[in-house]
Amino acid sequence: MFSISILVFSLAAAAYRLWRSLAISKDSGNHTASRLKILERSHETGVALSRLVEHDGAGSWPPKASHGDWPSELLPYHEIYMEMIPLLSSANPSLNNDVNIKRLNRFRSLLSKKLSERVDMVGVYELLSSIEAGNWSGCCREAFNGFYCCIAVLRHSYRWAVIPIVKVAQEEKIVDFPSQIDMPWAYLQRHFGVESDSGSNTSNVLHNYNDMGERAYKININISEAVDTTEDAFFRMFYDVEVIAYPMYQDMVSANIAFEQGNKKECLKHMQDINIRLRELLKVFYQNLVESRVAKGMWLRYCQGFQAWGAGRMVDGEYVEFDGVSGSHNLCFMVLDAFLGMKSYMNEQNLCRYIPRNQRLMVATFRKHSFFDKLHADNDQEISHQFGKIIQHLKVFRSAHKNRIMPYLAQPAPERMMMTAGKSFNEPSNDAAHLKLLDNMLVSRLKDTIAVASKLLA
């Protein structure tokens, strides 16, 4: 029965990938560089989108990334991660702290040894310094994006050293990272404009895929088919939604241009296109965040834990702790909220810590030019109706997402303390209170969305 379910999943996944490739091909006109250049010349939101694509995306979105086809100075990082990752995960997590401490120390020692022996720090420093000075002759942006991912996953693997994550690792509040993955991280974070010691949805997820949609750096090797399929299905969702979101961003720019030019007919057309794409985008979550594709127990132990962080460092005499990768880091939902004129669900500090600079700028620009509050009841009924459909899609999704995600987070994992990837609380007791806190956060965003709907009706 299990093999049949795996076969069904594989066929369904293949069908979805085929649909996605056909959809992209059919709509290739919306993805052309020429259209983006026109939008860039026409509106500030187009400038922001173009900057994101050219600087962070290596000319595309989702961003292009290559893995291992790099300058010789960077190649050892790729090779070392591939060698180490089979040693990270275990099919039988231990509840014995002494055993886990030995495993943790053994993994970190071996990783440190490989990095020390094989990474030419001088060469890496010179290459990254040259890039920071604006000289890209030694490394293309596509390779740089892949390198960003590799360093991020190396840091997360060193942070935890044992998957599923265990209590003794969670209790560490300051982790002494090898200089080989600390020094380049500072360059990478400055380049992308992110402050956290942990990775992000961009570094850990989007930059983990190549042009063929293949994921380079996995977390678990040779644990089980259920773990493999859960890991692949879960992370692909976040890549695929950006595939669909990119032409939606372009439609948003076009809607802004048309509205400001008084071309309500053209604006309405783009609003209708936004809703069509949004429906397809949300289907990615509806169809994949289900037990048959993302198994609850496997997800919590073998996917979610690796993306967490819950550690920090001393900054100006004070301890600063960083969170891990969160679903709230998804660009598409931040842009949708901004297009509606909604305030950010992250404060400025967390935006700077976890969201790359050019993504922040694009979101802020869409919020600045939101025309939701400029609609007139008598003259803009059709456009208002399309805004209402966007809001309704988000209301339904946020309600459904809250109900779906909570059972995933509530799965038993006795080897660890309650901990989410995006929020680093990890006290050893009162898991019910932690789940309630998370539930309240999801409910809060749902209420914000409902408030926007009420404004439209008013």
Same domain, 214 and 242: no
What is d(CA 208, CA 212) in angstroms, rounded to the nearest whole number?
11
Residue 250 placed within a domain? yes
> Is 162 a member of any domain?
yes
Do 150 and 211 have their domain in common?
Answer: yes
CA-based nearest residue to 200, from 148, 246, 164? 148
Whether 202 maps to a domain, the answer reads yes
**Is position 18 within any domain?**
no
**What does the pLDDT read at residue 435?**
56
What does the mean pLDDT of the chain come to?
A: 88
In whole angstroms, give the CA distance from residue 216 to residue 69: 12
Indicate the pTM of the whole model: 0.89
42 located within any domain? no
Same domain, 63 and 129: yes
Among 326, 77, 324, smallest CA distance to 196 is for 324
List CB contacts of 396: < 8 A, sequence separation 6 or more.
Answer: none
> What are the pLDDT digits (tens) for 224-262?
999 999 999 999 999 999 999 999 999 999 999 999 999
Residues 167 and 239 in one domain: no
Last residue of one domain, picked from the residues 222, 248, 278: 222
Q: Tell me the CATH number at 276.
A: 1.20.58.480
Whether residues 173 and 211 share a domain: the answer is yes
- Let me know if residue 247 belongs to a domain: yes
Q: Considering the domain boundaries, does residue 29 fall inside one?
A: no
**Which residue, of 174, 198, 222, is where some domain finishes?**
222
**338 and 189 within one domain:** no
Co-location of 311 and 444 in the same domain? yes
Q: Which residues have C-beta within 8 Å of that of residue 201, sequence separation ≥ 6?
A: 238, 325, 326, 327, 329, 330, 331
Pick from 325, 319, 277, 331: nearest CA to 303: 325
Give the mean pLDDT of 22-44.
58
Of 175-189, 227-241, 430-444, give the lowest mean pLDDT range: 430-444
401 is in an annotated binding site: yes
Q: Which of 71-85, 134-148, 165-179, 419-433 has the lowest mean pLDDT?
A: 419-433
**What percent of the chain clears pLDDT 90, i.e. is strictly above it?**
74
Based on the domain organization, do 245 and 204 belong to the same domain? no
- Helical H segments across 322-430, by residue range: 331-339, 348-354, 357-368, 381-409
Residue 115 pLDDT greater than 90, yes or no: yes
Residue 167 shares a structural domain with residue 242 = no
Residue count (the chain): 458
pLDDT reported for residue 445:
63
Structural domains of the chain, count: 2
For 165-181, what is each residue's pLDDT tens digit?
999 999 999 999 999 99
Residue 351 belongs to some domain of the structure: yes
**Residue-number span of the structural domain to which 299 is assigned:** 227-456
